[in-house]
Structure 1
Amino acid sequence: MILNSLPTEFQQAKPIIDTIEAAGYEAYFVGGSVRDTILGKPIHDVDIATSAFPAEVKGLFKRTVDTGIEHGTVMILDHGQGYETTTFRTESGYQDFRRPDQVTFVRSLKEDLKRRDFTINALAMRANGEVIDLFDGLQDMDAGVLRAVGVAEDRFHEDALRMMRAVRFASQLGFTIESETAQAITDNAALLTKIAVERTRVEWEKLLMGHDPVRGLQSLVATELYRYMPHMADQKAMLQTIMALPAWQLPTINSTWTFLVWAMDLQDSTDIRSLLKDWKTSNELIDHVTAAWKALNALKQRGQLTASELFDTGLPALTTANTVANLFGFGQAQADMDAAYAALPIQDKHALAVNGGDLIKQQIVTPGPQMGQILQQLLTAVVTGQVKNEVPALTELARMIADTKND
């Protein structure tokens, strides 16, 4: 196969390959960018594999960075772009099921491609668009099949995360995992516990945001891989429930976790924090999901949110909550929720027309807990429309509240 019209990213990187080849070495585009170009999908990073050893690569270019020199990877900086260029290599001795004990640089493209995870990722492409397919990856791509290169169990012993990558690709590409590859995942699923949670989490999020998440989840359940994911061992029923929902897709990482905590029927924010902490998510995500979960509860109970709930949740988490609510059948039109939020007198506490310094100057309060309590009451009064967000009205209300507290 020859691709006659290459994306701009390849055209921009072509001088790198030309320089390496002019020096007498082989060089190819490899990996996901080749796969996605053939599938007609947008590409991201362009990776290059070469027969030149790292020192030889560095000798050909003025600006390079040793991004992974021990594994043969050098970043070539050219015209403001960085291109990861990796020497053909073989690997051996995966005692931790995550990374090789030994890396050996070789001059053979075939030896390099043999260590790739799946046939559709074991494709190489020359600078002129000619695709090199040594493991029938094009045939598997046409058939919509995900197949391990060589012996599937060997590939998963080299890096157990590849099992999660398999179910993730099933979701993203809508492919079916070939039977021997699926059986090897089932047989080795427990090895997933050897993998850092952060790495598993990335694949899990991508699965849930895939084009066909149900297909990915079906493989996850069929292979029992889910049993070795944090907090998921007893969630088969939950997974089957979300697989039975009408066609759905999740647009953001925030929405994936909000979707999960709702589907898992977690009862309080403590449980949510425990789950997300164990998955090593950020505090920012935890706060977002917790706010969205509270809004979901209100939507489920009453079908709408009060002004205070809209304000406290904030538009980003409101959008997440409503996205998830619509998947479960109790959401609103997003335009209606956006309009309700826009109609709030203020959307940010810093927009309150008075602050603590103003109250002190007016000799209404002194610094301390009472000042914060009064400001919160003023904020609530403005958000709920009880008082206008104007200095005279807020000052008067603050004085009344203070007098009441001092009685």
Structure 2
Amino acid sequence: ENGEEGFLVGGCVRDSLMGNTPSDFDVTTSANPDRIMEIFSDKKLITLGKKYGTIGIMVGEEIIETTTYRKDGDYLDGRHPENVEFSKNLTQDLKRRDFTINAMAMDVKGNIIDEFGGVSDLEAGRIRTVGIPEERFEEDKLRMLRGVRFANRFNFQIEDETHLAIRKFANNITQVAPERIQMELNQIFLSETPGNGINLLYDTNLMAHIFPELMDTIGYDQMSPYHHKNLFYHMLCTLDNVPAKLHLRIAGLFHDIAKVHTLSIDEDGVGHFYGHDKLGADMVVKILKRLRYDNKTISRVETLIGQHMKVSPGMGEKGLKRQIRRVGEDLIFDLYDLMIADMMCTRDDRDVSFLENRKIEIKNILESKQVIDKSGLVINGRDLIEIGYNQGKEIGEVLDYLMELVLDDEELNEKETLLNIAREKLSEEK
């Protein structure tokens, strides 16, 4: 009615054809940005992307990204076209997209415009670039990783020429901003089949450039009667068997990464990996910093990997309380989920029931409001200063000392009792 064309395009068309509900809707149109704003002047508009031809239109709580047909210029930075030329031609707009399954449009009557075989690729379960793969991956190098993500998400195969091009240009992924790589990786980690996604990274040679530290684990024999998988597949199995929390999935993948650096073999020819938990925690911090993960995620993954071997079957209530204190209430159940997955991925006959029972014991400890950390002590730093302690790290050390005593005997958590113990300790040190 306004003399312009408009089509749904991209992921929403793909998802609709697959029988899935689209998470968002994108529109491509012959109208230029000013014309879009004129036509939808009665709506709230978001104009941040106007330079690239995109206007966000608020429809209820949803933002419909509406973009003018485009013909991209050269991609000199391997990410953005150097210039964007608006077009009146839908085919030109679809031609610039990454994969055929994302290069289909739908008109208002539900008719599909498919210039590049997207429908047949959907039906065949195939990821294929629009046009020549090398050109698409040279334009935006992140497309290689996106291809892996789509193949994993939909359980599709990557078409042969596309696959070969990814392997050929995989080293170019290092030219992509770490933040962009991280966003794609996170979607793989949180997918239904994260292990398959990481295996695809290996198969396409991308892993060698994103996670080079994992390459030594490929085919690595753990030389242990407790392990029937090589190290890489053991870690993929663990990744697949932890709940879908980002920090937990990352810890699942990397929990044993340092085994290749800590192997010792006893007189029976059995491999041992003393200290691989601590070294692995140090290694993963460097990996995640390189990929610009936030400090909270890094700290959580570091704790989980550093503590995942603290799994003594004979641990009693006092030991559990110390473990909760060491790991934190927010991570303790994640740690046990990691331990359970780790053990499930050793031998098929491993019994993990004692770990499940321990989660119940921990739940009971937390629900009973027992003293777990210094915040539960009836005295604090001010009380210690009043009886003669100097302000500073000494205060924390004394509170830690008192905390250990209370973990052994909670009846000691009385103000006068703890102050008397603190006085005795102070007099001994003078």
Shorter-chain TM-score: which interval? 0.7 to 0.9
Q: Specify the code of the residue in structure 2 equivalent to 1:215.
A: N
The answer as to whether partners of 1:345 and 1:385 remain within 8 angstroms in 2 is no
Structure 2: state its 5+ residue gaps. Answer: 219-230, 259-275, 345-351
Change (3 A) 1:162 1:384: farther
Moved more, 351-360 or 253-262: 351-360
Specify the alignment match of 1:354 in structure 2: 379
Assess, with a 3 A threshold, how the Cα gap between structure 1 residues 337 and 99 changes in structure 2: closer, same or farther.
farther
Deviates more, 1:388-397 or 1:90-99: 388-397
How many aligned positions are there?
383
Q: Helix, strand or coil: the match of 1:86?
A: strand
The question of 1:345 aligning with 2:370 is answered: yes
The reply on whether 1:197 has 2:178 as its aligned counterpart is yes
CA distance 1:388–1:52, change in 2 (3 Å): farther
2:422 equivalent to 1:398 = yes
Q: Which residue of 1 aligns with 2:268?
A: none
Within a 5 Å distance, the mapping from 1:146-157 to structure 2 comes to: 146-157=127-138
- Mark the CA change 1:394 to 1:172 in structure 2 (over 3 Å): closer, same or farther: farther
d(CA) in 2 for partners of 1:132, 1:303: 65
In 2: Cα distance, 1:242 partner to 1:378 partner: 40
CA distance in 1, matches of 2:330, 2:149: 26
Cα separation, partners in 2 of 1:170 and 1:338, compared to 1, 3 Å: farther
The correspondence for 1:296, drawn from 288, 308, 311, is 308
Q: Which amino acid aligns with 1:381?
A: L
Alignment of 1:61-80 (within 5 A): 61-62=40-41, 63-80=44-61
1:135 aligns with 2:116: yes
Residue 282 of structure 2: which of 262, 270, 273 is its match?
A: 270
- Rounded Cα–Cα distance in structure 2 between residues aligned with 1:395 and 1:177: 68
* Residue 215 of structure 2 corresponds to residue 234 of structure 1: yes
* 1:303 Cα offset (Å): 7.4
SS at match of 1:281: coil
Match of 2:252 in 1: 259
* Cα displacement (A) at 1:236: 5.3
Residue 160 of structure 1 aligns with which residue? 141
> What do residues 99-126 of structure 1 show as CA deviations (whole Å, max 9, x unaligned)?
2112111122222111221122223233
8 Å contact 1:314–1:347 — kept in the other structure?
Answer: no
1:282 alignment partner in structure 2: 294
User: Alignment RMSD, CA only?
Assistant: 2.8
For residues 39-118 of structure 1, the aligned pairs below 5 Å read 39-41=18-20, 43-62=22-41, 63-118=44-99
- Tell me by how many angstroms 1:388 deviates: 4.8
Q: Distance in 2 between matches of 1:231 and 1:112?
A: 37
Name the SS for the 2:58 alignment partner. strand
1:187 is matched with which residue: 168, 183, 186? 168
Question: Using the alignment, how far apart are the partners of 1:173 and 1:248 within structure 2?
Answer: 19
TM-score by length of 1: 0.84
Q: Which residue of 1 aligns with 2:327?
A: 313
For residues 3-30 of structure 1, the C-alpha deviation after alignment (integer angstroms, 9 at most, x for no partner) is: xxxxxxxxxxxxxxxxxxx322222222
Percent of matched pairs sharing the same residue = 30
Please report how far the alpha carbon of residue 211 of structure 1 lies from its aligned counterpart in structure 2 after TM superposition: 1.9
> For the residues of structure 1 that align with 2:203 and 2:142, how far apart are their CA atoms?
17
Structure 1 alignment gaps of length 5 or more: 1-21
Provide the rounded CA distance (Å) in 2 between the counterparts of 1:45 and 1:151: 28
Structure 1 pair 323–50 and aligned structure 2 pair: CA distance change class (3 A) = farther
* Distance in 2 between residues matched to 1:255 and 1:245, nearest whole Å: 10
Does structure 1 conserve the Cα–Cα contact (< 8 Å) formed by 2:242 and 2:337? no
Alpha-carbon distance change, 306 to 404 in structure 1, aligned in 2, over 3 angstroms = farther
Q: Is the CA contact 1:65–1:76 (under 8 Å) kept in the aligned structure 2?
A: yes
- Tell whether the 8 Å contact from 2:217 to 2:257 is kept in structure 1 after alignment: no
Tell me by how many angstroms 1:314 deviates. Answer: 1.5
Aligned mate of 1:367, from 358, 380, 391: 391
The farther-off stretch of 323-332 and 167-176 is 323-332
CA contact 1:190–1:228 (8 Å) conserved in 2: yes
Q: Find the aligned partners of 1:24 and 1:348 in 2 and give their Cα distance.
A: 69
Displacement, 1:79? Answer: 3.7
CA deviation after TM superposition for structure 1 residue 381, in Å: 3.0
Aligned pair in 2 of structure 1 residues 302, 127: CA closer, same or farther (>3 Å)?
Answer: farther
Q: Is the 8 A contact 1:28 1:124 kept in 2?
A: yes
Letter in 2 for 1:255: L
Residues 85 and 389 (structure 1), Cα distance of their counterparts in 2 relative to 1, 3 Å cut: farther
Distance of 2:314 and 2:101 partners within structure 1: 46
The alpha-carbon deviation at position 130 of structure 1 amounts to 4.1
Match of 1:4 in 2: none
Residue 168 of structure 1 deviates from its aligned partner by 1.4
